[in-house]
Structure 1
Amino acid sequence: MKSFKNSLCVLFLFLFLATCSEAAEVKLRFAGQFPKDHSATKFMYEIADGVKAKTGGRVEIEVFPANKLGDYTIIYEDLMRGAVDMALISVPSQFDPRLELVYLNAFANYDVLKKEFQPGSWLSKKMNEYNTRLGVKFLGFNIEGLTGIASKKAVRKPLDPNVNKGVLTRVPFMNVYKSAAEAQGYRTIALPYSDIARSMQDGTCDAVSSISTGAALADLGGIMKYWYQLNYSQETESYLMSAKSWDKLSEEDLKVIYAEVAKASAKSIEQAQQNDKRNLEQMKKNGVQVFTYSETELLPLRRAVMENWKQLEPAMGVQLMNEARKHFPIKEK
């Protein structure tokens, strides 16, 4: 009997040790702003699963979607303080206006997007530089899609930047969006994203700019009557990590996290391109008048937007804007 009891003790000890060996050595909190069924949130879960598998369970990432830990401005502050480890959020610019570089509205098509939003690109390096100064490490981009104008009224001569477009257009609370819209001839009003549907319904604004096809379908369905695919911007969020969390991780674990983020980022671009095509077709089925244009047709708008970058120089810096002009030159067709 004594021998049997000893055997049981040894068995329980092995089970205990096995359980402990499988427990995560590192646990990271990963905050997101989209609902659980959103594609961006699904990428977050894929990253968490990939990191867990590649590290043999040593690193465990817990995903908190749908602003459970606060909106993107709160989360960014928490990243700076180390209260949140990782995030996939829109990047606020109140801590450094140069962070608006990611929304500079200079990207014309998905080929350009794939080049400029890949790891190691000029844009990635700049975003890492400015985030690092705030105690946040940049990991990569998530792309929602190229943007356009959703309107309940017809826009006057949408390809002529010198014509008043005849619609009051909502823009986000960032100078790059206001500058780009006004350069194209739109009167603007800054409103929270959460208010766009109500604002279009009650006449506070006539149109919404800098919105992806997916967001327009989801949030403005039944309200928008016209869609103008202008491609002068892209809807994007950033994968970020608190520098305090980054410092605690081994080089090996950081490589795994970077690799999983890069994989998800590349998938987001491919998915966004497919979604844009599908969403435009769905808009047409819903009775929305859809207007798409060639790059040649869009050149006057792109030229006007870039000429208006001078308004951004006081906040963004002349040197940075000159770098941007060299990096994103106008290419005549």
Structure 2
Amino acid sequence: MRKLRTVLLSTFAISALLVGCSDSKESSSEKSDSVTMKLAHTGSESHQYQIGAKEFADLVEEKSGGEIKIDIHGNSTLGDESEAIEQVMDGSIDMAVVSADSSLANTVPEMNVFGIPYLFEDREHVYSELDGETGDKLLGLIDEKGMKGLGFWEIGFRHLTNNDKEIKIPADLKGMKIRVQPAVVWETHMKALGASATPVSFTELYSALDQGLVDGQENPLSSIYSMRFYEVQKYISLTSHTYSPAVVVMSNRAWDKLSDEQKGWIEEAEAEAATYQRDYLTEKDEEIISELKGEGVTFTEPDRDAFKEATKEVKNSLKNQVPADLIEEIQAK
């Protein structure tokens, strides 16, 4: 009887050990199938990029049941936007969120279309284009450059700031050094307004403004707020001169490793994050204006017709980069 009990206990122990090993192997197998992707951007913790990226990461993890995780690297920790694009193209990082009409336009020239002044009437006009055939065409051009264009998020309508005076008409900008993105269209834009275009890295812009290396800059309200430019720029002119979308790009190497189901989760999460981020930022603009007025910032409603007239020929600087029919297609809506 004692022998039988000993045999039974030994059998149970071995069974338990085998089950444990089986569970361990299964757990190990599950872990090996999980995917962690690096997503890079240059914004702060409260920047538009981070707002979209955080929602995107949460949605991807939820939809995949934890199978896919997005590891966000903000604040230019993996490089500026041009470096991030290069790393996505060579596959050393998986994803990045970048401005369409800045460094990305050096790789996909057609993205310079977003640098054309007063091309869009309002947000509804913007979204109808980005979420329709025009947006699909532009994302397709990214696909031809060794990257997967997932979709468009919001950076926003851009406004002028400075620390000297109110900007009401183009003549008020004469002789001022305005920081712009490194692109010909921005040089032409500022020249048309009588200002001097001065490219400065986004991550170095606060210091450049603080030290007086440039007199002003132009960015959406959310960028001005999240990067705290208002601390060194006490005048904001609500010119809404261009609209900048962010583009979510992914390396082909990372994309091709995913199953069809995983790709579906990524695409669904990107689209839902875009909607969330746009709604969030639309509501945020009014809060920002109210808060910055309390910080002593002066807001000016400029003569937009005067700015529109002064910059109407800027699009001609893009003849070799942006097809005329693309411009006409957007303006016709």
Output the TM-score relative to the length of structure 1: 0.85
Q: Note closer, same or farther for the CA distance 1:39–1:19 as it changes in structure 2 (3 Å cut).
A: farther
- Structure 1: unaligned runs, 5 residues or longer: none
Tell me the distance in 1 between the aligned counterparts of 2:69 and 2:187. 41
Instruction: State the 1:51 CA deviation.
Output: 2.0
| Paired position in structure 1 for 2:282 | 273
In structure 2, the CA distance between the partners of 1:25 and 1:7, relative to structure 1 (3 Å rule), is same
Q: Is the counterpart of residue 298 in structure 1 residue 304 in structure 2?
A: yes
Which residue number in structure 1 is paired with residue 141 of structure 2?
Answer: 130
- Structure 2 counterpart of 1:107, from 120, 127, 130: 120
Q: Residue deviations 1:221-261, cap 9 Å, x none?
A: 33222110111123432111112222222222212111100
Aligned residue identity for 1:125: D
> Is 2:333 the counterpart of 1:327?
no
Q: 1:178-224 deviations in whole A, cap 9, x for unaligned?
A: 23333344332222223433333443322212x12132233323322
Contact 2:114 2:243 in 1 (8 A): no
Q: 1:229 matched to which residue of 2? A: 238
In the TM superposition, what is the alpha-carbon distance from 1:15 to its structure 2 partner? Answer: 2.2
Q: Counterpart of 2:5?
A: none
Name the TM-score, length of structure 2 as normaliser: 0.85
Find the counterpart in structure 1 of residue 4 from structure 2. none
SS of the equivalent of 1:28 reads strand
Aligned CA distance change for structure 1 residues 250 and 290 (closer, same or farther; 3 Å): same
Is the contact between residue 144 and residue 268 of structure 1 (CA under 8 Å) also seen in structure 2?
Answer: no
Report sequence identity in percent. Answer: 21
1:172 to 172, 178, 181: 181
Higher relative contact order (CA 8 A, sep 6+): 2
Name 1:144's counterpart in structure 2.
155
User: Which of 235, 242, 255 is residue 246 of structure 1 equivalent to?
Assistant: 255
Aligned pairs, number: 318
Q: Which of residues 18, 21, 36 is equivalent to 1:10?
A: 18
CA distance in 1, matches of 2:301, 2:143: 39
Which stretch shifts more, 133-142 or 149-158?
Answer: 149-158
Give the direction of change, closer, same or farther, for the CA distance of 1:153–1:322 in structure 2 (3 Å limit).
farther
Q: How many Å apart are 1:18 and its aligned residue?
A: 4.0
The within-5 A match list for 1:180-259 is 180-209=189-218, 211-217=219-225, 218-259=227-268
* Distance verdict in 2 for CA 1:53–1:244, change over 3 Å: same
2:313 counterpart residue number:
307
